Amino acid sequence: MWPARSLSNRAALAPWGAVVGACLLAVACTASSEEVQPERDQIYFPTGLAMTPTEDRLFVLSANSELRFDSGSLTAWDLAKVDEIAAGWLANRTQPGGCRIDDTSRDILVCDEGQAGPGFILPDAGVRVGNFGTAVATQDLGDGRLRLISAVRGDPSVTWAEWDGTRIRCDGGAEGYPLCDDEHRLTRLRGDADLPALAEEPFAVATDAGSEVALVSHFTSGRVTLVDSRRAGTPILTDTINGLFEAGTSSQPGALALAARNPGQPDTLWYVGSRTEDRIQLMTVDRPSDGRPASLVLGPFFFLDSVGSSNGSSADTRAMQFGSGGDRLYLVNRQPPSLQVFDTSLAATGVPRNVGLTSTDLCREASSLVVADVGDGDRAFVSCFRDGEVYVIDPRGRASVEAIATVGRGPFALVVSTTRRKLYVSNFLEDSIAVVELSPDSPRRYQVILRLGEPRL
């Protein structure tokens, strides 16, 4: 039997959604702050994923999309513990306490993600953030320290925290399960009340530790915002550019996918994709030598005209990633559903060629993309939100779909550990993290082996 947090525990938590709503409407609410806090060792509508450079910790952003609690959360997970349970399951079908066989497949082990199970989530390492967070990215500060930068739609804000090797901090060193304070919630340009507030719907975030910046795209305005994130200082919003893309026939303009061509290199090019236009905009970051705030500088653009039956038909770019060296760009579009590969090597002029090389069909409503090599060449992994699947694509030569893995309901973000040879998938609609085996010599390759978190009905 399921020991602690089963479906009955989920149901027992449901009335607290009403408590939260009542607290928002009534001044004299009797519920204590702890009673409406999210559980520190559980996830609720997981979205963004990120990993430490050493690949020993996974960070999971929970959106709290039902507003059941007073905030979302950012939790830290022990990937060595995940490997330990996976190895025992694959070798001997070992079922630790808090784990059971999945209802849909006897080859999948389902485990409680918290202390009622093997203890994947570090219970005293997480923090609370605003509601409706969508993405988290890491910036390496050296000495095992990381800066975690999240896009939070509910505030709206760009929320930052720091990982010190043992826990996440965003409230002046407060213990317990702290809510990130105002200093860690960036809501206005340069922190100046006379300057514009952060635009609504911050959605995607990408970092470049070398140049000490992060870029944030905005889902419903087509804006891109720059975060100046110096290692020795504190992050600050220093610039924003509006009007990058035109509106769609029935929607506002939107910026989505972000990718840096050569992270850490001076004047690296940033590529920005749109959900409403068939165009990729390039830009750079200018950091004046006199210490003035960094700013965004628009560069050239190119059209996505290598796929689609007519000009302008290849749009709604959801994700992008460069291959190592920056000479290949992998791009996921929803219209038409496709993975496209571009030659972004430098021409004799010193400008990237940005020429389409190949493409392959995808599922509808693709959400995220990660490209990784676990020992036998690059593979592109694409999450399919509507279909509950991850497409595995061999992008070499003429790109082709190699496998399709059923992972759970509402797969959103993806992270690959090349050393552990695992793919981690946040399943937004069922409160779980799917673990997919990637080892080339495993008979379970491209299959879910673990589901971390009891799926919500």
Calpha distance 380→433 (Å, rounded): 19
> What pLDDT is recorded for position 266?
77
Average pLDDT, the chain: 91
- pLDDT level of residue 2 (50, 70, 90 thresholds): very low
> What pLDDT is recorded for position 33?
64
Q: What percent of the chain has pLDDT over 90?
A: 82
- pLDDT level of residue 313 (50, 70, 90 thresholds): low
The 10s digit of each residue's pLDDT in 92-151 is 999 999 999 999 999 999 999 999 999 999 989 999 999 999 999 999 999 999 999 999
> What pLDDT is recorded for position 175?
76
The 10s digit of each residue's pLDDT in 296-306 is 999 999 999 98
The 10s digit of each residue's pLDDT in 217-252 is 999 999 999 999 999 999 999 999 998 998 877 678
Q: Give me the amino acid identity at 442.
A: S
> What pLDDT is recorded for position 250?
63
Q: What b/e string do you get for 68-79 counting C-beta neighbours within 10 Å, with b at 16 or more?
A: bbbbbbbbbbbb
User: Which residue, among 258, 256, 260, has the nearest Cα to 276 in the 3D structure?
Assistant: 256
The 10s digit of each residue's pLDDT in 318-376 is 999 999 899 999 999 999 999 999 999 999 999 999 999 999 999 999 999 999 999 99
Mean pLDDT for the stretch of residues 415-434 = 99
Q: Where are the domains of the chain?
A: 7-452
Does residue 31 register a pLDDT over 90? no
> What pLDDT is recorded for position 307?
84
- Three-class SS of the chain: CCCCCCHHHHHHHCHHHHHHHHHHHCCCCCCCCHHHCCCCCCCCCEEEEEECCCCCEEEEEECCCCCCCCCEEEEEEEHHHHHHHHHHHHHHCCCCCCEEECCCCCCCEEECCCCCCCCCECCCCCEEECCCEEEEEEEEEECCEEEEEEEECCCCEEEEEEECCCCEECCCCCCCCCECCHHHEECEHHHCCCCCECCCCEEEEEEECCCCEEEEEECCCCCEEEEECCCCCCCEEEEEECCCCCCCCCCCCCEEEEEECCCCCCCCCEEEEECCCCEEEEEEEECCCCCCCCEEEEEEEEECCCCCCCCCCCEEEEEEEECCCCCEEEEEEEECEEEEEEECCECCCCCECCEEEEEEECCCCEEEEEEEECCCCEEEEEEECCCCEEEEEECCCCCEEEEEEECCCCEEEEEEECCCCEEEEEECCCCEEEEEECCCCCCCCCCEEEEECCCCC
Locus of tokens 């609690």: 69
> What pLDDT is recorded for position 309?
55
**CATH code of the domain occupying 7-452:** 2.130.10.10
> What pLDDT is recorded for position 53?
98
Q: What six digits make up the tokens of 86? A: 């996976």
> What pLDDT is recorded for position 16?
37
